[in-house]
Structure 1
Amino acid sequence: MNKKESIAEFHTRHGREYPRTGQFNVYNRGEFSCDSTSLPPNRRDFYKISMITAGTGILSYADKAIKIDKPSITFFNPLIPYSWEPTSKDQAGYFCLFTEDFISQNLKSESLSQFSLFKAGGDHLFFPAKESVELLKGVFENMFLEIRSGYAHKYELLRSYVQIVMHEAMKIQPPNTFYQPFNASERISTLFLELLELQFPIDAPSQTLKLKTANEFALQLNIHTNTLNRALKESTGKTTTEWIAGRIVNEAKALLQFSNWDISEVAYSLGFEHPSNFIIFFKKQTGKTPLQLRKEFGSASV
């Protein structure tokens, strides 16, 4: 898997210096070499909302790829690897970048908490109508004015502008013109593996895995479990369950060797309600009990 791209590396890729100021920045696409810079299918460590008002290109994420040839708006978060290939020189529009620090409980309100900006699965591309395009242009122009202002509460106002953009997108039906790229299985597999790896390492006994089954991963990725299994089997030779089990075993071995947590704490952090279930799982995968392996490592007592 490719290393996720930082916000500073994103600026460097476009030949720009990262301003390193604030939690939020907004840019004009026409002034950011969006016409000549391709984005590889990486995961980024920041959020991005991009509005294209002119220009064409191909946007790809998960198992979807779509030709952009009209005004559109996209929402991406650090969970989602995506790529962009410009196919014209007349790129215009806006985009804003922000970090996790910018996310407030108010921004991630109940009505927006399940929106695509905060999820790995779902629809992340929308085609606004003409009236909506004009409204969104005005919102982005207000972002430009506000980010340059000295207003003490400007980030609160910028969060409100982001909410307006999100609500406007929620009114729009997602596109139905997606086509399957030749490497759809690889895209699904990459997204799954990124999502799986995002849960590790486990740093404290109170930290527990949120996604533990093939069904839970498929639901998060907004695809059928069979589709996920088929993609992984085709591109990696292993099933979803095999990947999950293997990663949990590797983490368990690390915790048994390098931590002094007792077996029940290790079991709980890895998503097992009862230590006995963890012991059965671990022995099935490794041929040894957790205690036997810990003794081999010469670690502290359980």
Structure 2
Amino acid sequence: MDKNIPSEAADCNTSDLKLKGFKVYEVGSGVNAVPTYNRRDFYKICINTGRSLIHYANKGIQTEGTIAFFGNPRIPYSWEVISPTYTGYACVFTEDFLKSHERFESLQQSPLFKIGGTPIFQLDEGQKLFMTSIFQRMLAEQDTTYFFKEELMCNYINLLIHEALKMQPTENFFKHKNASSRITSLFLELLERQFPIESPKQPLSLRTAQDYANGLAVHVNHLNRSVKEVTGKSTTTHVSERVISEAKALLIHTDWSIADIGYALGFEYPTYFNNFFKRITGTIPKSLRA
């Protein structure tokens, strides 16, 4: 079985993305490569027809037919094509590009881009035709000199977002049942906002349950009780698991020294990082280096 990966570099030169704020492109099969597991500094919306295996966060999701995918820059993902033919469209855009839009903040909290949300939707023929037509209009407009092009692109992106939101039954939107649920949700959001770590010169600022309690302006005991009640795990366990997840990503996907990685994750000395990593994973950080 052939395994192809639509290469970000091959399908979309994003070098000018930060200048324009968006990029639209067509994708296809035929790129042979080893699967990559990346975090990117932009959001991505795409529709694809074919059979694929999407590695998203800690899950592997196999898809067939036509699907829409909503990529979040805070969550690593890779895309492995396992069918001989593969077609589709994609657009990538920075957070700043849509930030001025009055509805953007609430859309960020939707199941499309929310941590733990639903990033993949199976499309029927009508949905496929509609979303394809939007991408084709975006492609046609991308290189024009129309004065309000950015506003138009923003509207197209929001059309894609709302089309996917309509596929979600209203009850799928998260609703807080009580104060514990609300505090826990705020904690998990604050935890995720600490990542990804972009530079060893900007170390993790929140490391302990007390740090997060301070950030949320609640007593640490209240935070611990709420998180344990709702998730079954302690606040410290959530923080440790997320730090370990980030440590693994940095060990595999960067050339930073182990000491720099440890420092970036809030460990003053490499020995502290090594001991923490081994206690949680049963192995040492060096074992993840090729």
The normalised TM-score by structure 2 is 0.57
User: Structure 1 CA distance, aligned partners of 2:113 and 2:40?
Assistant: 14
Q: 2:80 aligns with which of 74, 77, 85?
A: 85
Q: Which residue of 2 aligns with 1:119?
A: 114
Residue of structure 1 equivalent to 2:238: 240
1:102 aligns with 2:97: yes
How far apart are residue 45 of structure 1 and its match? 1.3
Aligned pair 1:153/2:169, yes or no? no
Residues 12 and 25, structure 2, Cα contact 8 Å, conserved in 1: no
Whether 1:162 aligns to 2:157 is: yes
Q: 1:46 aligns with which of 31, 42, 49?
A: 42
After superposition, residues 1-302 of structure 1 pair within 5 angstroms as 11-12=8-9, 14=10, 17-20=13-16, 21-30=19-28, 35-37=31-33, 39-52=35-48, 54-106=49-101, 108-109=103-104, 112-173=107-168, 196-198=194-196, 201-202=204-205, 209=215, 225-226=231-232, 239-240=237-238, 242=240, 251=266
Q: Distance in 2 between matches of 1:119 and 1:90?
A: 31
Secondary structure class of the residue paired with 1:160: helix
Cα deviation for residue 27 of structure 1 reads 0.8
Give the C-alpha shift of residue 97 in structure 1: 1.0
Tell me the percent identity: 31
Cα–Cα, structure 1 residues 169 and 142, in superposed 2: closer, same or farther, change >3 Å? same
How many matched pairs? 206
RMSD between aligned alpha carbons?
4.1
Gapped regions of structure 1 (runs ≥ 5): 1-9, 175-191, 219-223, 233-237, 255-302
* 1:104–1:196 Cα change, 3 Å: closer
> Please, what TM-score do these two structures have when normalized by structure 1?
0.55
2:74–2:195 contact (8 Å) kept in structure 1: no
Offset of residue 68 of structure 1:
1.3
Q: For residues 64 and 243 of structure 2, what CA distance do their matches in structure 1 show?
A: 43
Q: CA deviation at 1:42?
A: 2.3
- What SS class does the counterpart of residue 70 from structure 2 fall into? strand
Looking at structure 2, the residues matched to 252 and 198 of structure 1 have their Cα atoms a distance apart, in angstroms, of 16
Which deviates further from its counterpart, 157-166 or 209-218? 209-218
Distance 2:11 2:89 in 1: 17
Mapped to 2, the partners of 1:215 and 1:161 lie a distance apart of 44
- Per the alignment, residue 184 of structure 2 pairs with none
8 Å contact from structure 1 (residues 38, 86) kept in 2 = no
Structure with the greater alpha carbon radius of gyration:
1
